[in-house]
Copies of this chain bind each other. A is one copy, B any other.
Amino acid sequence: MNLQQLATFCRVISEGSMTAAAEKLNLTQPAVSQQIRALEDELGVPLLVRGVRQVKPSIQGQLLYDYAKKILFLTQQAEVAIHTFSQELAGEIRIGTTSAFGLHLVSPVVG
């Protein structure tokens, strides 16, 4: 189980089709098919109910879908948090007091 498989799985559910998901993900249909199969093999349960013109999550698939969305969201959040923090670090740090006359620095500017 890895993050790409989860992202692919979520896309398949939201698109209702492996082929459509493959296009959105810039992958080929067999690549998506193999990722889903790998997930199903690893977990030992069917994740999709295959229809002719659409795929739907199985009951276990629905369970995984809910978790996967949370996991992927946290992953994005982590990346954003780290980058945001680094941006702040890169900015100047000025410690002082403010008044009608502006900022009165009491510590040197830290680059």
Contact = CB atoms under 8 A, between A and B. Distances in A.
Contact of A2 (B3, B43, B67, B79): B3
A59 B90 CA distance: 13
Counted per complex, copies of this chain come to 2
- Which DSSP category, helix, strand, loop or mixed, fits chain A's interface? helix
A104 interface: no
Interface in A33-64: 43-45, 59-60, 63-64
Contacts of A2: 2-4
Interface size class of A (residues with CB under 8 A): 20 to 34
Interface of A: 1-4, 43-45, 59-60, 63-64, 67-68, 70-71, 74-75, 77-79, 81-83, 85-86, 89
